[in-house]
Amino acid sequence: LGGPHCFLAETSVSLSHMERMRINKYLSGAGYCSRRKADTLIEKGIVYINGYRAELGSVVDPGDEVRVNDDFVSIEGKQDIYLAFHKPEGVIVTADKEADNTVYDYLNGDERVIYIGRLDVNSCGLLLFTNNGDVANKLLRSEEEHEKEYVVRLNKPYTRRFLESMRDGVVIEGRITKPARIRKMNTKMCKLIITEGRNRQIRKMCEALGYEVTFLKRTRFGNVKLGDLGPGNSRMLTKTERRELLASL
C-alpha cells in the first residue's frame, strides 16, 4: 500500500466558491504548512501574492497567484486527504528533508501531507496524516480530548502499585498526569489509554515508577484503529472514520 494517490480522496470546495481569506489560512488550507509556520514564512519575506511580497494579515482573493519562493501553492480543487500510517520502529517523524529514514520516505505521491502528533523513533504504530492544515491544527489543539491507546512492554514484571499509580496519575517533570486506563495482557505487557500528548509521556511515566519501556506501539487515535495495517503501509480513512474524527472537533 502506498500514499494518498493510491486512494480516493474527499473533494473540498474550490477557492472560486469561497470568500477571500488571510494568507496564513490559505497556506494552511492548501496543506502547505500550519498557520504558525505560514506566519514564519511570511515574516521571512518568501511568500508572494501576484508577485508582491505578502505581509502578516494579507488576504488572498479568488484567482490570486500564491507562491512560496518558487513553489506555486493552490487551494483550488484541492482534495482533502486523511491517512492512517503504521510507523515502523526506527523511523523518524520529521519533515526535515535532510533527515534519513523519515515517515515521508514511506508515503508515495506528490500531495503534501502533515503528520498529526508524533511518535518517538523507538516507538511504532498508528500515525495520522492530512493535507488540511486547519484540521491538523484543531486535532493537535484538542489532543487531550482524544483517547490514544498503546501496547506497552516493560523490562520486568509490573506490580499492583504500578497499575494503581498509572490509574491515579504519575508525577513527571513536576506535574501529575491525567489518570490512565490500563489493562493487563501478561506479567510484562499491558494496554494503556491516555488522553494527553506530552513528549515521550508513557516512557517517562514508567521511568518515574522504576520501569523501562522495551516496546511501545500506538494502536488507536480517537476513533481510528491501526487494525491489521502492516508496518510502513498507509491507508485512507474510511468515510465513517473521517466523519467521526471531524465531528470530534
Asked if residues 13 and 82 have their Cβ atoms less than 8 Å apart, the reply is no
Cα separation, 139 vs 129, whole angstroms: 11
DSSP state of 4: G
Which residues neighbour 21 within 8 Å (Cβ) at sequence distance 6 or greater?
29, 59, 60
Q: Which of 39, 120, 168, 228 is catalytic?
A: 120
Cell numbers at 97, concatenated: 528533508
Cα separation, 62 vs 41, whole angstroms: 21
Q: Give the three-class secondary structure for 233.
A: coil
Q: Residue 66 to residues 21, 69, 75: CA-CA distances in angstroms?
A: 12, 10, 10
Query: Whose CA is closest to 248, among 218, 221, 219?
Result: 221
In the residue annotation, 71 being an active-site residue is answered as no
Q: How far is CA 187 from the centre of its chain?
A: 32
Cell numbers at 135, concatenated: 484540521
Catalytic residues: 120
